[in-house]
Amino acid sequence: MVGALLCDPVDSACAAGVIFFNNVGYLGMCGHGTIGLVATLAHLERIAPGKHRIETPVGEVSVFLHESGEVTVNNVASYRSAANVDVEVPGYGTVRGDVAWGGNWFFLVGEHGMELTLSNTGQLTAFTWAIRQALGASGVTGDDGKEIGHIELFGPSCLPGVDSKNFVLCPGKAYDRSPCGTGTSAELACLYADGKIQEGQTWTQESIVGSVFEGSVKVREGKIYPSIKGSAFVNAEAELVLDPQDPFCMGIRP
């Protein structure tokens, strides 16, 4: 689960600024979080269907709120930093994957021999957490030594007409219930680099719980810009009370 802290945008032409966070810290970008943010802004009647701009920690993204309520996120430029990287994972052997950026750093693994089902999340979590630990121990990072915080396993989907299914481990050892917007962006960048998809081609990704994103890429000045389309639904409204006399009103830190 990801939270979104709304901020006043630096550019007043933007609909909002946002900082995404999870159970261990903030995230550079979150695709499903952006879809949820746009759906929430629409619910609050702060935006109408059409194109809007959102400021995130990794840069400005544009979004389109469809009349149907679906949201398209035009993500930041994404790319593969390293292909076919081998890492020795204790208890599992050699695991090969790609290092790619989609707004967060990912290690993407297509050949893993794991069953991508909701009933198997325990084993999937253990495997991907072991990969993440091994990446750190082996010194495998994103560009400029940036930590790879997300591990994505992908394989075929059983849903008719859907191209892929994934399991994504996020920082903090939680797994993504959505198809992961930044992970799908990173995967799209790898697919495009390998010539497996064309510019403008629709490519679909299923999550571990069965939800689906539509993705595509545009290329501008040699850079790959993924777009992700999906839905989110408001299911609660709440009010937090921060009592200044409560020593833990801002949370508990070690």
Rounded distance between C-alpha atoms, residue 178 and residue 35, angstroms: 11
Residue 30 bears catalytic tag: yes
Residue 180 bears catalytic tag: yes
Among 7, 180, 190, 249, which one carries the catalytic annotation?
180
Cβ contact 208:167 at 8 Å: yes
Distances (CA, A) of 243 to 126, 237, 248: 39, 20, 9
Among 14, 30, 170, 249, which one carries the catalytic annotation?
30
Cite the active site residues: 30, 180
